[in-house]
Structure 1
Amino acid sequence: MRSESIRYLIVPGWQGSADDHWQSHWQRSLPNSARVEQADWMLPRLADWVAELERSVAADARPVVLIAHSLGCVTVAHWAAQAPAASLRRVRGALLVAPADVERLGCPEPLRNFAPIPRDPLPFPSQLVGSDNDAAASAVRALEMARDWGAEAVILPGAGHINVKSGHRRWEQGFGYLYRLQNRIEQLERRRA
């Protein structure tokens, strides 16, 4: 996959991704990248977040790879379950990092309107990266989400929520998962050709 022909759409989670978050570093590093900018990062509303993701995907006709973190992963799943076919065709794949289990006991109140989490397979290749000590989703739940969504899954040891607090600022290792996803996308495209 030639990076010049693809755009990268960063899909942050609850509270957004600060300047030192790996998503912000990636946005500055990856060519043709943009961010889904939600109107309210602190009090997310499912319908608003899904609508903004749809607007961001539909705003540009180029093919796109979604790079989602936390609540952004759940937003992608909700969006994919109801998006117009034309928008879904633009998405080549999704990297889903540290998905938030909005169905868990003790889930913060502002996130609960994102439950239930869609269980339908995503209509594009996806790579899920979770952690065995993420308070937002246990490894078991991350693997369940990956299975439901048809995503290839990796569970990292001791990576926390894969954010600034857990020491993941630039998260160079994450590019390996993005490249793995892009290789799968290329293989699928070659098979279809």
Structure 2
Amino acid sequence: MLDSRIRPFIDPPLNRLGHWLALRGVRADWVTALGLALGLAAAAAVLGGFWLLALGLVLASRLADGLDGAVARASEISDFGGFFDIFADFVFYAAIPLAFVLADPAANGAAGAFLLASFYVNAASFLGFAILAEKARMRSDVQGRKSIYFSNGLLEGTETIIFFVALCLFPAAFVPLALIFASLCLLTAVLRVLAAARLFRRG
């Protein structure tokens, strides 16, 4: 919901930095891999209870996630790059909640399982929509130039980052925050399924 609103503010500096890196031979896949490594390090920090470190690593990981696309646009956008970017995002999105569950299974286990299940359902709706959009040759630059079609939704990348930041700042509130966010994830998936039914039912 917020991604398209903040892109006009974050894209110009990211594109300038991405162009600078591309001129120096940095590849987008390298930046994606760095973002994934930082995200997994953030999960490890959560597991160890180092909340401020986890917060910094989460933000650094998402900076790299935005920067890899800028590097790709300044050099070459590839199908593998789009695949690797989505793969890295989903690994990161799973790793942070899993770290909270492993840190305190008794307190966080049920809410964490519900959250991860909602991520799975939302991801299925997102990727399924992208497949149908590609088949229908749909294109959109609302989320920036992408290798696959990015359908918008109630919850997108920006909201997920805000959620993870809130978890790092208020770890004791994991259960209520996870339950609320998971419910909104499921609502996002339902809305996307309804949109797909409206757009692709005759295909």
Q: Same fold (TM over 0.5)?
A: no
Q: Which has the higher helix share?
A: 2
Q: Which has the larger radius of gyration?
A: 2
Q: Which has the higher strand share?
A: 1
TM-score (norm: length of structure 2): 0.30
Q: Structure 1 length normalisation: TM-score?
A: 0.31
